[in-house]
Amino acid sequence: MHQLAAPAFAEIEIKKSRFLGQLYPLHSRAEARQTLDGLRRAHPGAVHVCWALICAGESGLDDDGEPSGTAAKPMYNVLVHKDVTNVLAVVVRYWGGIKLGAGGLTRAYGQAISEAFKQAQLIAVESRREASLEVAYADESQARHWLDKYQAQILEVSYAQQTCIRYSVKDKDAAALTADLITALKGQVHFSDDTAQA
């Protein structure tokens, strides 16, 4: 599984229609809506702004007025074939005056996104694990030191009888971080809530 390192763009022309293929890295449907709103404002003369989104639990497709299945579905198929996640694929179409037919549209939308992928830099997605730890107040700074060392992301900190830190760490580092924390804190640390996530 991969994701985009940065947005990527390509333009193709078929029978005088221009297809602007665009790829954006993002992490939610809300981000996708903002991007799409911006694109519609930036391209007021476009006849269609079609999109396909693959994002954890928030995927979606929209043909934006093109015949059903001729725009978003071929774009989505390219995303699936490229094994990417957290990506919004958009094709902005400017009408050229010549009808392409269903087959022509399907090829054009898929090709626009394929061309954009030729400009894209992909990075591997590393799965992460969420966990919580509890330590004495006096040990919080030492726990934070080890979390920083393993580039763990602190998600939440709460204070009750002890300091509770909820964090996210790369799967490959989880066991080593746990072992180092136990050693450094002489066993005075409690872990819970391990769940894997992408």
pTM score of the predicted model:
0.67
Average pLDDT rounded to a whole number, residues 126-140: 88
Lowest-pLDDT choice from 91-105, 117-131, 154-168: 117-131
Banded pLDDT at 194 (limits 50, 70, 90): low
Does the pLDDT of residue 66 top 80, yes or no?
A: yes
CA 128 to chain centroid, in Å, comes to 14
Q: Supply the pLDDT for residue 196.
A: 43
d(CA 109, CA 63): 10
Nearest 5 degrees, angle CA 15-CA 121-CA 109? 25
d(CA 35, CA 42): 10
Banded pLDDT at 197 (limits 50, 70, 90): very low
Banded pLDDT at 145 (limits 50, 70, 90): very high
